[in-house]
Amino acid sequence: MLLKSKFKLATVIGIVLSMLSLLVHLFLANYSAGGITRYSLHMDDVLPFGPRPRPRRLWGPLNTLDHLHPYAKPRKIYPAPDYHNGFIYAKIYGGFEKIQSSICDLVAVARLLNATLVIPEIQATTRARGISSKFKSFSYLYDEDHFISALSSDVAIVRGLPKDLREARKKIKFPTVSPKNSATPEYYVTEVLPKLSKSKVIGIIVNGGKCLQSILPASLEEFQRLRCRVAFHALKFRPEIRALGNQIVSRLRVSGRPYLSYHPGLLRDTLAFHGCAELFQDIHTELIQYRRNQMIKRGTVKEQLSVDSVSRKINGSCPLMPEEVGLLLQALGYPSTTIIYLAGSETFGGQRILIPLRAMYANLVDRTSVCSQRELSDLVGPEAPLASNMAHPPPPKSEKELIDEWKRAGPRPRPLPPPPARPYYAHEKVGWYGWIGENDTEPDPSPIEFRRQAHRLLWDALDYFVSVEADAFFPGFHNDGSGWPDYSSLIMGHRLYQTPSGITYRPDRKTIAALLENVSDHRYHPPRNWTLAARQHLNNSASVEGIVKSAMLSKPVSFLAHPLPECSCRTPKSPGVQSTKDSHGRLLFGGEEECPDWMVHSLAMVSTKNNEPQNEDYDGELPEDDSSQDTQQESDRSDMNKSSEQDEEMDPDD
């Protein structure tokens, strides 16, 4: 009897201790992570025990570009002006990429006119009702104190107009201008400066993402470096964004392996502008066409409403679909366990369009995958609740009300009443498609939609930070030809400035479309020669050849997309690089000045410190990636009658 009681007591104690241990573990997990995430990396597939090497062909660095280094400091005497002609205040309309580019232009314009710049207003935040009161317009994204101090030797910047001028501005007593995207310095000197000198205050409204032409005359080369100092040094995100961005980067690299960032570029406005509606189906095509019709009415689009989307895609005017990007990454040799970070706050088509890419790369994650909901809400800050604009169902009727309604319905016999309408659920009212089933006209944005637009700025800023720090970057759409700055091009320009030797792919969509057309019947089992052709094109796009080709298209549109050679320098022992110029004789690559001695000395110390042997050329993970080995094997084959463009490993149906 005594033995049974001791056994029961030990069992009870074991159960109690197990419950306590479980509660402690749940508490610690919830406290440390700030909530339970909905998705986690496939760590068992990503990394076994111990470090793994980094193949140079996939993750870099590129030897042909490691002699370039960021250097945006003034090269000539560049004193700050002793006087100012007045104040410039600005309103910026548009998304994150337009805000980032516009601020750099406004600082350059303020320096050109010797004016004091009032910190610009971001209209996407001022129009949003109920965003966190902790932040003002500019401080919603950027660190105001750092912005002012970093440019103190270049431009005088203030947080607001003096009190008397602020009252006059409310009464609209000051002139405002809305310059074109390609406004020249002469326009500001001849048109804007006289108005500024007369009124002492002038407003600038920026709509297209730019207010100054991208390529400036050679005499204004220091203004180009000023743009680089603004974009890459002064425009620092507020501490909360940087802290969460660093946490995301650490979590992506916790396995010891690098990660690739991918921005699809599937935006509704972009697809409507280029006429890519037929790449989608059903309601998405209708939504794109509706937006395109709006652009035609505003004069933004000068073409017809209906165009051949297939021909546009073959011409390279449409983004690469996620499925196509997955096939290209496979052709490059990225294994299926590669960690891919999905950047951008908007992916038109939603998760359905990402299914093929996720099937090829299971470790496709985004900010919602690697961050908890609490961390994202802390980034937004405390916000007042807004009334929902969802349609509420009618209140239920009692049995007595139903009987009275039946008695008042009229004489019998009568037809049966129509069946009740299907109720609309909350998820059917969220997003662009909430109105399409009921109305032919898109409703005006609600307060909740304005708030979501402000939130998208935060998500774009967070993903921008993660993409710049990524080991490799692949754009789904860049150099779109619209004349507006695009998100991917800004990331590519920042990476080219900060880490020129990093892997940044710049695919030619026209060439890619032709390659994919050749294997349209067997994309998932392409012949070996197709894989080598796609790999060669993408590797060339990440090298000097791709940089020069991309610069000819991107630099006339946005200087920040290609800040070379003005904002870079080269080490004295760099290999001989042939200078490349555009059709107007302007340098695009190879004309960088030598780095100063103090910088060369510091770079040498860093190089010595990091000069540890690394298996960067490891081929064990992907033995089939060595194209030179494949060529040697093919040359040794006994069948000498076959064409050199064929091989025996191609698909049998080829």
Identify any residues that bridge with 237 across adjacent strands, giving them in sequence order: 142
What ranges do the domains of the chain cover?
A: 80-237, 241-380+448-589
How many CB atoms are closer than 10 A to CB 526? 21
Decide if 107 contacts 226 (C-beta within 8 A).
yes
Which residues, 6 or more positions from 550, have their beta carbon under 8 angstroms from its beta carbon?
Answer: 478, 479, 492, 506, 541, 561, 562
> What six digits make up the tokens of 440?
């032919």
Summary count for the chain: helices (H), strands (E): 26, 16
Eight-state DSSP code of residue 237:
B
Strands (E), 145-299: 157-158, 176-177, 201-206, 259-263
Decide if 214 contacts 555 (C-beta within 8 A).
yes
Angle at 431 between CA 427 and CA 435, to 5 degrees: 90
Residue type, 482: S
Which residues, 6 or more positions from 421, have their beta carbon under 8 angstroms from its beta carbon?
Answer: none
Which residues, 6 or more positions from 592, have their beta carbon under 8 angstroms from its beta carbon?
Answer: 68, 564, 565, 568, 569, 570
> What six digits make up the tokens of 528?
């070996």
Instruction: Say how far residue 260 (Cα) sits from the centre of its chain.
Output: 13
| pLDDT computed for residue 619 by the predictor | 35
Angle at 330 between CA 327 and CA 331, to 5 degrees: 90
| pLDDT computed for residue 364 by the predictor | 95
| pLDDT computed for residue 241 by the predictor | 95
> What six digits make up the tokens of 195?
């108005």
Q: Taking phi first (over 0 means left), then psi (-120 to 50 degrees means alpha), and beta for anything else, what does residue 479 get?
A: left
Q: 3-class SS at 637? A: coil
Q: φ and ψ at 644, to 5 degrees?
A: -70, -15
Is CATH 3.40.50 the right assignment for the domain spanning 80-237? yes
Identify any residues that bridge with 69 across adjacent strands, giving them in sequence order: 569
| pLDDT computed for residue 22 by the predictor | 77
- Identify the segments of the chain with pLDDT beneath 70: 1-4, 26-53, 78-82, 129, 387-394, 412-415, 417, 422-438, 573-577, 604-654
| pLDDT computed for residue 432 by the predictor | 56
Q: Report which secondary-structure segment, H or E, holds 327.
A: helix 322-332
Q: 3-class SS at 142? A: strand
319-346 pLDDT per residue, tens: 999 999 999 999 999 999 999 999 998 8
For the chain, the straight-line distance linking the first and the last C-alpha, in angstroms and rounded, comes to 81
| pLDDT computed for residue 219 by the predictor | 87
Q: Taking phi first (over 0 means left), then psi (-120 to 50 degrees means alpha), and beta for anything else, what does residue 502 get?
A: beta
Q: How far apart, in whole angstroms, are the C-alpha atoms of residue 49 and residue 52?
A: 9
Angle at 82 between CA 77 and CA 85, to 5 degrees: 120
Angle at 435 between CA 127 and CA 445, to 5 degrees: 5
Q: 3-class SS at 157? A: strand
Instruction: Of 580, 344, 577, 363, give the one whose Cα is nearest residue 464.
Output: 344
Q: Report which secondary-structure segment, H or E, holds 90.
A: strand 87-92
Q: How far apart, in whole angstroms, are the C-alpha atoms of residue 120 and residue 424?
A: 41
Q: How far apart, in whole angstroms, are the C-alpha atoms of residue 345 and residue 327?
A: 23
Q: How far apart, in whole angstroms, are the C-alpha atoms of residue 85 and residue 93?
A: 26
| pLDDT computed for residue 430 by the predictor | 60
| pLDDT computed for residue 53 by the predictor | 59
> What six digits make up the tokens of 335?
């294994």
